[in-house]
Structure 1
Amino acid sequence: MIPARARDRDGTLLEVPGWHLTAGCLFPAVWNAVTGRPPAEGLKDYDVFRFDDRGLSWEAEDGVIRAAAEVFADLPAGAEIRNETRVHLRYQQKFGVPCAPCTSTGAAIDSFAATTCCPGVRLDPGGRWRVCAPHGLSAVFGLVVRPNPVLAPRAVHEAKTARRRRQWPELTVLEWPTA
């Protein structure tokens, strides 16, 4: 469970406003359950998206990343916590295409290279789990990888899909849309 506020081992407050656990740990866990594999097999990382528009500096982001690394040090895979208000500052350099600023964590989740990777979950202040699934969940549970050409280039989708197919050969991969 990731509260909106957590403390690292030194007691430093880690604020994670607008957070969602997403991508790297969600769809692999579902695919493992559906295919009878161990829950953490193929798990690359725990992606935590947050939305904090109080500052766009690298120093502010890095402070949260460092604190989160300590908070999540005991996880079996690394935790990657990123402020989605900053994604447009690094996206073009990483993927070769420009990216408009995200308006919410949900908007950032909706821009993954495959719609299958778009679910996110969070625990609300009342202790209830909330699901963000802009493309639904049927493809995730049906082992279908559907391209999401809204932002990521085709080459990114194809590279990630090739890696996933090696791990889960049962996947059905839909073609990149031509229109």
Structure 2
Amino acid sequence: MADLEARLSEIVRADPGLMQVMTTLRSLDIPDWRVFSGAVYQSVWNAQTGRPAGYGIRDYDVGYFDPDTSWDAEDVVIKRVAAAFDPPLRDMVEMRNQARVHLWFEGKFGEPYTALANTDEAPARFVSPAFAVGVRLEDDDSISVVAPFGLEDVFDLVLRPNPTRPVAKGWDKAVTNALGRWPELAVVDPAQA
């Protein structure tokens, strides 16, 4: 996995939008933050398929962890982060306090969601191992990676359901959206996963 982590770091560093987001977030001293999901795995898919950096990236999902689970506290962070960016990034960086997800997830997605202890626990709950990747620009300029299922699926362009949870209700939509932009993806049927 070390080789794939090194390759992921190279890909992330070659994406100016992703690097700007991470550099800005690091300067804001947000607690336990990490960029994950689309902006990360889609950057890999772009590199693997010869597409330009930034292709298909609609937003930058950022998780952070603050034990204050009030909406008011999260809203302060959302506004503070938005103010640090100019458009279009201002509208693309989406901050979510991972300490609050269990409060709203079931109502929005119809599935139970137990509370998390930190941001790095979140990717293990994502709908696919290929989506379960997060990165952070550390103070020493290294890029740390969290990938609870490894990086093979994301680099091999494989979409399969998360083996540790039921198939997500949004699975078909996620697959359709991904295939619309990266038709090279291989999709594993949930019944065969």
- TM-score (normalised: structure 2): 0.80
Give the match's secondary structure for 1:116.
coil
Separation in 2, partners of 1:87, 1:149: 21
Does residue 1:28 correspond to 2:42, yes or no?
Answer: yes
Q: Which has the higher helix share?
A: 2
**Contact 2:66 2:99 (8 Å CA) reproduced:** yes
Tell me the CA shift for residue 177 of structure 1: 4.9
- Cα RMSD for the two superposed structures: 1.9
User: Which residue does 2:77 correspond to in 1?
Assistant: 64
The amino acid across from 1:67 in the alignment is R
Separation in 1, partners of 2:69, 2:54: 33
Report the identity percentage: 38
Tell me the CA shift for residue 36 of structure 1: 1.2
Give the match's secondary structure for 1:31.
helix
User: Which residue does 1:93 correspond to in 2?
Assistant: 107
**Contact 2:105 2:111 (8 Å CA) reproduced:** yes
Separation in 2, partners of 1:145, 1:153: 12
Tell me the CA shift for residue 121 of structure 1: 0.8
Which one of 55, 62, 74 corresponds to residue 41 of structure 1? 55
Q: Which runs of 5+ in 1 are unaligned?
A: 7-14
User: Which residue does 2:30 correspond to in 1?
Assistant: 16
Give the match's secondary structure for 1:166.
helix
Does residue 1:156 correspond to 2:170, yes or no?
Answer: yes
- Matched positions, count: 170
Q: Cα distance 1:40–1:82, how it changes in 2: closer, same or farther (>3 A)?
A: same
Deviates more, 1:72-81 or 1:130-139: 72-81
Q: Cα distance 1:175–1:20, how it changes in 2: closer, same or farther (>3 A)?
A: same
Which one of 114, 118, 125 corresponds to residue 128 of structure 2? 114
Q: Which has the higher strand share?
A: 1
Tell me the CA shift for residue 128 of structure 1: 1.9
State the Cα deviation string for residues 19-59 of structure 1 (Å, max 9, x = none): 11111201111111111112111101011110111x11000
Tell me the CA shift for residue 151 of structure 1: 4.6
